[in-house]
Amino acid sequence: MAYEKINECFLVTDLYYSVEDNTWVRVNDDGTVTVGMTDVAQSLAGPILHARSKKPGTARKKGRPIGTVESGKWVGPVKSPVSGEIIEVNEELESDAQMLNRSPYYKGWIVKMKPDNLEADLADLVTGEAAVEAYRAKIDKEGITCTHIEGTETPEA
């Protein structure tokens, strides 16, 4: 799996990213997308205690919350990087929310969605080298260094 590491923050380069909202999109073969939060997002939040997603069948506009996470006593939304319908949620997060910290790009995926207009939404996201550059700028500007809890599954492994 191709990845980049910037200030200890992992970035899987074949994903599409909303750099502003710290979310990623994986385009699946059947036209659906898998959505999750980035390594930067889990680092800024800290160890996550609760994660809750909207139910399958929920229609979401881009930028609207598809779920919430709670770390310590802070609660924040996970904003959808695409418009569409939630078709599946990662139920494992209900009992093991720290999966979001340990495996943000793989086992810690949040929802699967059937996008309304994927092409248009992907045009607003960045991938590959453009994503690396955008994140490098963000990480430098905001002085972010990623941290990982015990048991983290990194792309290096």
Partner 1 sequence: MKSKKKVRWIDAGEVSALRSQAIYHALAYARNEESPDTIVFVRPAEPYVCIGYHQDARKELDLNHCRSFQLPVIRRETGGGTVFIDNMQLFVQWIFAPEHLPRRAGTRFQYFIKPIVETHRQFGIKAAFHPPNDVHVNGRKLVGTGAAAIGNAEVVTGNFILGFDFDRMVGVLNVPGECFRRMFADSLEKYFSNLGRELGAAPPAAEIRNAYLEHCKAVLQRPIGKGYFTEEEEQWIQRIEQKFTADEWVFPEGKTAEVPARRLVKVHADVWVGQCTWRSKSGGELTAVVRLRGKRIDAIRFCESVEMDPPYKLEAFEKMLKHTPFEREAIEETTKVFFELHSVRSENLIPEEFANALVKLKSLTAAAPFSI
Note the residues at the interface with partner 1 (CB under 8 A): 43-46, 49-50, 52, 55, 68, 70-77, 97-98, 142, 144
- Please give the sequence-ordered ranges of beta strands (E in DSSP) within the chain, or none if there are none: 3-6, 9-12, 16-18, 23-27, 33-37, 48-53, 59-60, 65-71, 74-79, 84-89, 111-115, 126-127
**Residue 20 and residue 37: Cα distance in Å, rounded?**
11
Q: Which is nearer to partner 1, 51 or 125 (CB)?
A: 51
Q: Which is nearer to partner 1, 108 or 115 (CB)?
A: 108
Q: Which is nearer to partner 1, 34 or 98 (CB)?
A: 98
Q: How far is the CB of 31 from partner 1 (least distance, A)?
A: 28
Q: Which is nearer to partner 1, 2 or 59 (CB)?
A: 59
By CB neighbour count within 10 A (0-12 exposed, 13-18 middle, 19+ buried), where does 109 fall? buried
Q: How far is the CB of 108 from partner 1 (least distance, A)?
A: 16
Q: Residue 142 has which token pair?
A: 């905001």
Q: How far is the CB of 128 from partner 1 (least distance, A)?
A: 25
Q: How far is the CB of 154 from partner 1 (least distance, A)?
A: 20
Residue 75 CB neighbours (<10 A): 13
